[in-house]
Structure formats: C-alpha cells, structure tokens
Amino acid sequence: MVTLAGVGKQYGRGRPVLADVDMTVRAGDVVSVVGGNGSGKSTLLRILAGITLPTTGTLTDVPYSVGYVPERFSANTRMAAHSYLCHMGRIRGLPTRRASERADELLERLKLEPGPEFSIRDLSKGNAQKVAVAQSLMTRPDLLILDEPWSGLDTSAHGTLSALITETAAAGAAVVFTDHRESVARMEVFQRYEIEGGRVRKSLRRRQGHR
C-alpha cells in the first residue's frame, strides 16, 4: 500500500532526523515504530500521514482516507466531544445521523468519563486522547496512524484501543503506531521498525499472540 523510498528529513540546517528510509506498509498490517525520545518517530508518522513533507525521497500509494492521532491533541474548542466528533464525521462525508451514531459508539467504547456533552477544552489529557482516537475512526480509514496512542489512557481504555486497532486492521486498513516498548506486548504486531541515529530498520516480523 504505502511505500517510502529513500525518505529523509532535515529541519532547517540541523542534522538529518531521518535518512534513507525504505518502508512498505500493506493493507491489514499492524506496524509499530519504536525509538528513543527525539529519534524521529513522530516525524516519520507525520510524513506517512502527509502532514510533513520529506526533504528527500518519495511516498507512493498513499491512500485517500487517513486517520491520524497526534502525540498531543489540543483542540481548543468549547464544543462538546460528541458535537466535535459529529462535525469531523460530516466533514469526511458521513450523513448527520450516521456520524452521531458512530460518535456515540466510539465514546461509549472508550468510556469518555465526563460524558459526551463535556467541552473538549476542559477534558483531562487522557480523556482528550480518547476523543483524538475517536476522531481518527469516525470513518473507517485505509491507513490509521497513531502517535503514542496509549500514553495518558487509563487501563480500561488500553484494551479498547488495542481492540479498535485490531478491528481496523482486520477490516483491511494498515495501522502504524509509535510505542514505548511495553505496549507492544499488548498488541499482535506484524512488523516492528526501530529508529536509531536517523536510520530505520525492521526489527521483527510476524510476532503473534502477545496480548
């Protein structure tokens, strides 16, 4: 599906953050990207999501429908969580009623504790993260990209997120997430890439049954 060939990224005159990255992510793949702080994980994910342009190299076969959960979700709006999600769903082409049902379903599964009518601006970090996850799944994406999605989530939401990722991949999407090691164990990860010194290398393939 998505292929990165010779992708590099340099911000300004700094040292290159990524160099010569080759990577292919196929429909149904669940891919984790691990690496230390500042190694370039978010940069790689933003390139995959089409938010950041690479300095060198190419991306091909990027699907039309991309869901993206940023590392920090800061929607500074008074809008209620449910209204916000409906709005995002309608922007992506859902009829109003379907958008409302999908928002209900996702907020219920993720257990947004203050309730669906709570203003996004006043949500705690973890609850805002739940809204960020929900917005990425309002329409079923072909490529789902999640930047440290478990961080800030409570234990009950950990399992829900893993289930949502598994379901999304089973429906034919490719899923790529960054991770701090321990959460890899919660997922059935098909491919694992490590970033170090600007280089990305595949470090594991087809590891299964490690929930």
Ligand X SMILES: Nc1ncnc2c1ncn2[C@@H]1O[C@H](COP(=O)(O)OP(=O)(O)OP(=O)(O)O)[C@@H](O)[C@H]1O
How many whole angstroms from its chain centre is CA 89? 17
Order of all β-strands in the sheet with 143-146: 66-69, 143-146, 174-179, 30-35, 191-196, 199-205
Q: Residues 6 or more apart from 151 whose CB is under 8 A from it?
A: 71, 129, 180
80 DSSP 8-state letter: B
Residue 71 or 154 having the CB closest to ligand X: 71
Q: In angstroms, what is the minimal distance from the CB of 192 to ligand X?
A: 15
Q: In angstroms, what is the minimal distance from the CB of 17 to ligand X?
A: 4
Residue 78 or 202 having the CB closest to ligand X: 202
Residue 106 or 145 having the CB closest to ligand X: 145
Report how far residue 123's alpha carbon sits from residue 152's, in angstroms, rounded to the nearest whole number.
12
Interhelix angle 125-136/155-170, rounded to 10 degrees, is 10
Q: In angstroms, what is the minimal distance from the CB of 96 to ligand X?
A: 36
Q: In angstroms, what is the minimal distance from the CB of 190 to ligand X?
A: 21
Q: In angstroms, what is the minimal distance from the CB of 39 to ligand X?
A: 4
Residue 37 or 76 having the CB closest to ligand X: 37
Site residues (CB under 6 A) for ligand X?
11, 17, 35, 37-43, 71
Q: In angstroms, what is the minimal distance from the CB of 107 to ligand X?
A: 27
Residue 53 or 155 having the CB closest to ligand X: 53
Report how far residue 119's alpha carbon sits from residue 79's, in angstroms, rounded to the nearest whole number.
5
Of 172, 16, 147, which is closest to residue 73 (Cα–Cα)?
A: 147
Residue 52 or 166 having the CB closest to ligand X: 52
Give the position of tokens 């299964």.
208
The CB density around residue 22, as the number of other CB atoms within 10 Å, is: 13
Of 195, 198, 203, which is closest to residue 35 (Cα–Cα)?
A: 195
